[in-house]
Structure 1
Amino acid sequence: MINRILFLMFLMLAACKPDPEKDLFTEVPSSHSQINFENTLQDSKTLNALDYMYFYDGGGVSAGDINNDGLPDIYFTANKGPNKLYLNKGNFIFEDITDKAGVSGNSDWNTGTVMVDINGDGLLDIYVCAVVGILGFEGHNELFINNGDLTFSEQSAQYNLNIKSQANNVAFFDYDKDGDLDMYLLNEGKHSAESFGPASNRFIISEGNGDRLLRNDNGKFIDVSKEAGIYSGVNSYGLGVAVADFNNDGWDDIYVSNDFHEDDYYYINQKNGTFSEQLKSRFGKVSRYSMGNDVADINHDGFPDVITLDMMPEEEQFSKSTLSDNDIKYHKIRANLGYSPQFARNMLQINQKGDYFTEIAFYSGVEATDWSWAPLLADYNQDGELDLFVTNGIYRRFNDLDYLKTYTDLATKKNISASRLYDQKALELMPKGAVHNYFYKGNSNLKFEDKSGVWHKNTPTESSGAAYADLDNDGDLDLIINNYNAKPSILKNNSKNNAFLKLSFNAPTKNKFALGTKVIAYHKGQLQFRQLYTSRGFQSSVEPIIHFGFAQEKEIDSLLIIWPDNTSELFKNVKTNQTLVIKPSAKRQIVNYATLFQTNKPWFKKVNDTSFLNINHVENKFSEFDTQTLIPYKVSTQGPAFAVADINNDGKKDLFIGGSTRVEANLYLQNNDHIQLLTPSFFKEDALSEDVDAIFFDADNDGDLDLMVISAGNEFHRKSEPLKDRLYINNGKGKFSKSMDALPIYYENGAFVRTNDVDKDKWLLGEEFRTNSGSEPNGIRSMKSPKDPPFFHSDTYLHPPATWNTQIPHARGGVMNYWFYLLSEGSSGTNDNGDSYNIQPIGIEKGADIIYLASTVYFTALV
């Protein structure tokens, strides 16, 4: 008893231990920083959010050292101006030099900004985007060329970059490998009849809101969008652009986030001045309202991964009152119109060696951050793992369901129409949308730990553009955030104990800052990968440096620098806690990407057997979402069942492939050089059943393999014949006949069948959760005595929790629902013996492994 008390006291003390990274960031007050900029906007009768859907999106920020004094400076855009440039004086004190520098801007509506050395003179210039041509907005994108004396000259016309469009931001990169910087122009969308048409409308050129690729020809930027394969269509809704070499072939590619129904774009560089858009073949799904994005290697394999943000709230209150995904009919319409699957949440796409991407946001815990704008992946705590910062919030929530219900009321619409789409009361109906920004700590297992409120206090804001930079030159990354109707947030990074390595570059080309350079840091058998690009997040650009964190390491094994021309050089035994300025040496070597980024050899090879071409699963069209609106996922498409065994004792494996409802199953025999469909088929009479699992085993102990097929499907109702499972008896020569009396009469939504070899006569059936029939799952049934009823019911438990609900699909066996919940989520209470328990959560994945073993090994041995 004393030991138990001491143990509990130890746990309590451990729980009270403060987080060693508490207050990793401290906000620098404007009274100290002297940054008094504010992006101030108010709804008016001539311009408001009912007229312009991007009215509340906010402004951007760019960071970089404009005077080469070693301290990064800051430029902010204000939607209605003026923009502001602040010179870093050290110690987080800044001087407003906007007027002196001549960079306030003259456009009516400003958006994104990028610092870039566009003319290769070693001085950072400033490019500012503008929305022009709608709502009376005048102006053009502006290019401020650095004169080297803290003054700038607006020269966009000389470079052919005085573009008039609905620009959101740009990305500079050398896509054609000629040594200078080209530009991708990201444009916002505009609703129209054509923009809501089929996906093929992206080929209808739009001068106002179609994206553009501009090639740098000796200082003149030429629009090459059409010949390069870039979509410039009427359904472009660009809100984020990232550049990276996604497939590690030495040529940089492009990822574009699009708002609303338009797919994101994934452009692969073809090395000949053109791009191939490949989103549909490389991504399974994307965010629906894709906002800002970022690209970085999260899992240390040398291939850049992608994160896109959306508007899925974390808090239950907003989750239930927010317009999110449409019903299944909308998704079918989208598919018919040529679009890819979309879902209204953040997406974290893991790059699988350049071949395809696996989406893991739910697994990683970053799927819901509310109305989010800028994701910035960087190692903020310098422990060697990438962390995530997300800006958040909007002045008013357009997608609030209560507001939409009122706003779409006929009387309300009539009043708004009578006043030119402006009605102060109508705007006031929109609830406010201030939300705290998110901080996530990265871990080595692809999981992110929410550190919001720990690394920095949770203050509701309306933040949009953001950038990171080492503002005080102490080696860690600070944050600059452009807020809506408020002064910017300058967050000082207080990381003290962990080591860093900071790199900048000086190249002898027009690409002076060497944008596109890759750096691989090797240490103790692990690698960290970075690529230098500054356009990140939303409407913003970061300081043009590469930053690594190395925890407590004083020295790393080596650094591999891969320059934009695909030459490389290796530095060994590199000390940490230093800043290096690297120039290309004469001893560079050409990179062999096939050797450097080796991919695993495939475990399987494709067999060119034309017999397999006849095997094609056909799924029936049925959607249970129409009648069961709260069902979490479809249970009518759980097939096809598949089983392999030698059924005719010829030494070759044969195949059973189940069918969906109204499609008969098939059995294929393997011959010397091909497979052959067994005819006539004895499954035709059971074609109405949906086959979800099957297994070959010796059911009658006669030495040959019989076949058990499990039936399911939400298409059927109570006591429907197609829900009956089936046992087919083998006559020893591969000919099967259906056994009519071996199974009890029950009508259940099956899930799986398993066997074991304890007595050679025991097998189990597991049932899925509730179907249209309204019947409850009966858990697991033993087939040692197959006509006995299922015995693992909830009423066999001594103290079943009041909240136990077998309809929740935590596991496919209803008997294990609560077990799975306890293991994955954790809980406390009283067990069957009356003793108290406190179970710590181990997560869904580990819990699923345990439940799977229970259902396939441990339980089977007890029956």
Structure 2
Amino acid sequence: WKSAGADIPGEANGELSYDLHLWGSGLDTVISGLSGNYASVPAVLFNENQSYQWMIEARDGYSVTASREIFTFTYNRQAFEDISGNGLAIDDGYSEGVAWGDYDDDGDLDLFVANIINQNNLFYDNDGDGTFTQLSSGPVVNDGGFSYGGHFVDYDQDGDLDLYVINRGQGVAQANFLYDNDGGVFSKNTTSLIASEAAPSWSGAWADYDHDGYPDLFLANFNAANYLYHNNGDGTFERILSGDIVTDVAASLGCAWGDYDNDGDADLFVANFDPNFAGGPGQNNALYRNNGDGSFSKITAGAIVNDGGSSAGASWGDYDNDGDLDLFVTNYFDENNFLYENNGDGSFTPITAGIMVNDGGLSVGSAWGDYDNDGDLDLFVGDDGGANRLYENLGGGNFTAIEGVNIVNTPGRSNGAAWIDYDRDGDIDLFVANGDATPQSNSLYRNRMNSANRFLQLHLDGNASNYDAIGAKVRVKARIDGQPVWQLREASSQSGYNSHSSYEFYFGLGDAIAADTLAIYWPSGWVQVLTDVPAGQFLTIAEDSQRVVGLNGGKAVPEHFELRQNYPNPFNPATVIEYQLPDDSAVRLSVFNLLGQRVVTLVNARQPAGVYEVRWDGRDASGRPLASGIYLYRLETPAYSQSRKLVLLR
């Protein structure tokens, strides 16, 4: 406001003071004793996106004069706060990729950042209070290199996260880095095949493609054949030398595993670039379908592998909540990005309308995440020279670009990006790796929306599956805004461009107070189902190898209820009972003796439609072995009941 003048001649203006009156949207307050011609007002006084009014009164000790004007404003709070100074290095650097993982097993996510131009990589220990401590000793942060990305992965299945770093080299191929974790202390492994073979690797991704319980490694190489390493389970690897997946030569920049056909095994998408890196036409991307026997079939039909483009990365995510993985692909050189909707039959429909696929730009990184916890996936896209983009999912396949927030207003060259809940407050935060050929500070944006929407978060510990549960899928059903909504997430070691968002699962539940159904589809084939899970939790769930329910992958939704004969029968020591459900239902599966006494309940839960298996080891509810003889097993639902006989032989 403009300073007033004193009413009494000879009185100094320095004796003037001002009262600021603020009112509206439940606020009515006065801030007195102000001097000068402006005031700083605490943001906590205001509610987000609400309108307020204000006026000024001037005092000179003799009289009070009110301003003739009343002003109106709307408070738009920043949804994200850049907290890069909270222990994170803000020095300019050349950062490409990011990986999050709890390397020290203290319950919070720590951060690795990959740098190029032979800079040392960065490692930050999460202190658990919203701050980080930068680590300065050890090989991880002193090896230099031309690093593009990294993955936390327990490749040797000893219970802690090891670290694998992707190096492209500068002018000459460079071996990647492998760091073995021993109780939170890393040592460099130089003898492993995956750390000794030099290659022009631009990115990589882990998945247990053959279901042997050990994560395997794919490397995307630039203008060279790509590499697939099979994990032998004894700490060693074997490079696969046959098949299109390792003989195709392309300018591969990105890769992402995802079970797009819902048959229970990991398929692979590879993003290919312009081989001359000069803004010319890019190459077609590649999609390899896992045949389930350790081999892959190259998909040759459809826009997803024939669109061309200078593609840098790809992110799988079920943005339309229809139960299958859709795909977003970033393109460089002012090309439009690609969005492919999964049709559920192994094919994809390219989406050509909407802002997400018509923005152009120098797009590199991408990351799906429900930042507003409303029950659908939103999308961040990082740009290597222009403005970053944040698209809010409005439902029904529609997105809108969010403007006026620091995430999209911060200029620079952004590459990898990852959503995580680093502060465990229930909403996901965003890390963006910046720099590339121009040094720039990285950014960590804390989500401060304080939305009334609820959440559910999970961490899985594999048992029969790989320890990190890479490839596990979680489906959550909740009633949001009065409607039943199913959501799907899949654990992945790589998404977007050289980004690893940890193996945690983040679900927004909107106004739901609980998840009606939580179904975990483990890579081993087992399915665990929980019902009526309260919102507002971070859960750690271990794969149960005793009382577990397994889904026969690849089968269509059944048309009717059925309880099938167990096999083998007679049996010793264990048998499998199979049944099918045509729709979501409360289920109880029990075993009875010939006196009609229930000896054990194998399943007592609400389950989604599907074909299920239960393995029974011939023990009662207390774990005691039962005697040889004939027993009955019964499937009960509100709409169906059936019993069959089985024979236990000791």
**1-side partners of 2:312 and 2:369: how far apart?**
18
Tell me which residue corresponds to 1:360: 402
What is the letter of the counterpart of residue 216 of structure 2? Answer: D
Give 2:194's aligned residue. 103
Change (3 A) 1:25 1:165: farther
Counterpart code for 2:165: F
* Deviates further, 520-529 or 121-130: 520-529
C-alpha distance in 2 between matches for 1:96 and 1:521: 45
What is the aligned partner in structure 1 of residue 490 from structure 2?
A: 532
> Matched residues in 2 for 1:379 and 1:528: separation?
22
What whole-Å deviation, never above 9, does each CA across 1:311-368 have from its counterpart, x for those lacking one?
A: 35xxxxxxxxxxxxxxxxxxxxxxxxxxxxxxx4212112222422111143574343
3-state SS of 2:353 partner: helix
- Do the aligned partners of 2:268 and 2:289 also contact (CA within 8 Å) in 1? yes
1:62 aligns with 2:151: yes
Q: In the alignment, what sits opposite 2:435?
A: 393
The residue aligned with 1:695 is none
Matching residue of 1:666: none
| Structure-2 residue corresponding to 1:219 | 294
Match of 1:435 among 431, 440, 451: 440
CA 2–176 in structure 1, closer or farther in 2 if over 3 Å, else same: closer
CA distance change for structure 1 residues 301 and 562 in 2, over 3 Å: closer, same or farther? farther
2:569 alignment partner in structure 1: none
Q: 1:108 to 1:545 in 2, by over 3 A?
A: same
Q: Which has the higher helix share?
A: 1
1:548, 1:151 → 2: CA distance? 36
Aligned pairs (5 A) from 1:65-214: 65-80=154-169, 81-91=174-184, 93-99=185-191, 101-104=192-195, 106-132=197-223, 139-157=224-242, 160-190=245-275, 195=280, 209-214=283-288
- Say if 1:173 and 1:515, in contact at 8 Å, map to a contact too: no
Taking structure 1 as reference, are residues 507 and 244 closer, same or farther at Cα in structure 2, changes over 3 Å only? farther
Alignment match, 2:460: 503
CA distance change for structure 1 residues 577 and 223 in 2, over 3 Å: closer, same or farther? closer
SS in 1 for 2:301: helix
Per-residue deviation, 1:168 = 1.0
Equivalent in the alignment of 2:549: 585
Q: What SS is found at the alignment partner of 2:175?
A: coil
Greater Cα radius of gyration, structure 1 or 2: 1
Give the secondary structure class of the aligned counterpart of 2:137: helix
- Cα separation, 2, equivalents of 1:394 and 1:578: 37
- 1:399-453 CA-partner distances (Å, limit 9, x unpaired): xxxxxxxxxxxxxxxxxxxxxxxxxxxxxxxxxx211101111133789xxxxxx
Listed as ranges, the gaps of 5+ residues in structure 2 are 1-16, 20-29, 45-82, 88-129, 551-578, 585-606, 608-650
Alignment of 1:239-258 (within 5 A): 239-258=312-331
Paired position in structure 2 for 1:569 = 529
Counterpart residue number, 1:52: none
After TM superposition, give the deviation of residue 191 of structure 1 in Å: 5.6
Quick one: which amino acid aligns to residue 560 of structure 1? L
Match of residue 304 from structure 1: 377
Give the SS at the match of 2:225. Answer: coil
**Which of 142, 145, 152 is 1:36 aligned to?**
142
- Superimposed CA distance per residue, residues 67-122 of structure 1 (whole angstroms, 9 cap, x where no aligned partner): 2233111100111212011111223x2111231x2212535411101121121111
Q: 5 Å matches for 1:269-668?
A: 269-281=342-354, 283=356, 285-312=358-385, 344-363=386-405, 365-395=407-437, 433-444=438-449, 501-504=458-461, 513-519=470-476, 531-534=489-492, 535-546=494-505, 560-561=518-519, 563=521, 569-572=529-532, 576=537, 579-582=540-543, 585=549
What SS class does the counterpart of residue 249 from structure 2 fall into?
coil
The 3 A distance-change label for structure 1 pair 177 and 499 is closer
Give 1:381 shift: 1.4
CA shift, 1:176, in A, is: 2.0
Matches of 1:562 and 1:589, distance apart in 2: 17
Q: Distance in 2 between matches of 1:499 and 1:173?
A: 22
- Indicate if the aligned counterparts of 1:374 and 1:537 stay in contact, CA closer than 8 A: yes
Q: CA deviation at 1:558?
A: 6.5
Shift of the 442–163 alpha-carbon distance from structure 1 to 2, 3 Å rule, reads same
Whose relative contact order is higher, 1 or 2, with alpha carbons under 8 Å and at least 6 apart?
2
Structure 1 residues 193 and 32: CA distance shift in structure 2, 3 A: closer
CA contact (8 A) 2:419 2:430 kept: yes
- Root-mean-square deviation (CA, aligned residues, Å) is 4.5
Q: 1:263 aligns with which of 324, 336, 340?
A: 336
Indicate conservation of the 8 Å contact 2:376/2:508, yes or no: no
CA distance in 2, matches of 1:507, 1:523: 34
In structure 1, the gaps of 5 or more residues are 41-57, 133-138, 197-205, 313-343, 396-432, 448-497, 597-863
The one-letter code matched in structure 2 to 1:437 is N
- Cα distance in 2 for partners of 1:377, 1:591 equals 33
User: Aligned partners of 2:518, 2:353: CA distance in 1, in Å?
Assistant: 33
**Maintained 8 Å contact 2:273/2:312:** yes
Query: Structure 1 residues 545 and 280 mapped into 2: Cα distance closer, same or farther (>3 Å)?
Result: same
Deviations along 1:726-777, one digit per CA (max 9) or x if unpaired, are xxxxxxxxxxxxxxxxxxxxxxxxxxxxxxxxxxxxxxxxxxxxxxxxxxxx
Confirm or deny that 1:26 pairs with 2:132: yes
Give the Cα separation in 2 of the matches to 1:113 and 1:238. 15
Cα separation, partners in 2 of 1:216 and 1:524, compared to 1, 3 Å: closer
Letter in 1 for 2:269: Y
Question: What one-letter code is carried by the residue in structure 2 that aligns with 1:238?
Answer: S
Contact 1:568 1:589 in 2 (8 A): no
- Alignment partners' CA distance in 2, 1:357 and 1:591: 31
The Cα of 1:227 is off from its aligned counterpart by: 1.7
Shift in Å, 1:158: 6.1
Q: 1:159 to 1:220 in 2, by over 3 A?
A: farther
> Do the aligned partners of residues 110 and 388 (structure 1) sit closer, same or farther apart at CA in structure 2, a change above 3 Å counting?
same
SS in structure 2 at match of 1:118 = coil
TM-score, normalised by the number of residues in structure 2: 0.57
> Cα distance 1:247–1:364, how it changes in 2: closer, same or farther (>3 A)?
farther
Change (3 A) 1:558 1:164: same
Is the contact made by 1:114 and 1:540 (CA closer than 8 Å) also made in structure 2? no
Contact 1:373–1:537 at 8 Å: present in 2 too? no
Aligned equivalents of 2:305, 2:450: Cα separation in 1: 37
How do residues 706-745 of structure 1 correspond to structure 2 at under 5 angstroms? none
In structure 2, C-alpha distance between the alignment counterparts of 1:283 and 1:573, rounded to whole Å: 34
Greater share of strand: 2
SS of residue paired to 2:265: coil
Give the secondary structure class of the aligned counterpart of 1:286.
coil
Rounded to whole Å, the distance in 2 between the matches of 1:75 and 1:308 is: 25
Verify the 8 A CA contact 2:252 2:272 in the aligned structure 1.
yes
Change (3 A) 1:446 1:363: farther
- Give the residue type in structure 2 aligned to 1:258: N
Q: Which residue identity does 1:392 align to in structure 2? A: N
TM-score (norm 1): 0.44
Q: Indicate the SS of the match to 1:161.
A: helix
**Where does residue 715 of structure 1 map in the other structure?**
none
* Amino acid aligned to 2:549: S
Q: 1:501: Cα distance to partner?
A: 4.7
CA contact (8 A) 1:64 1:72 kept: yes
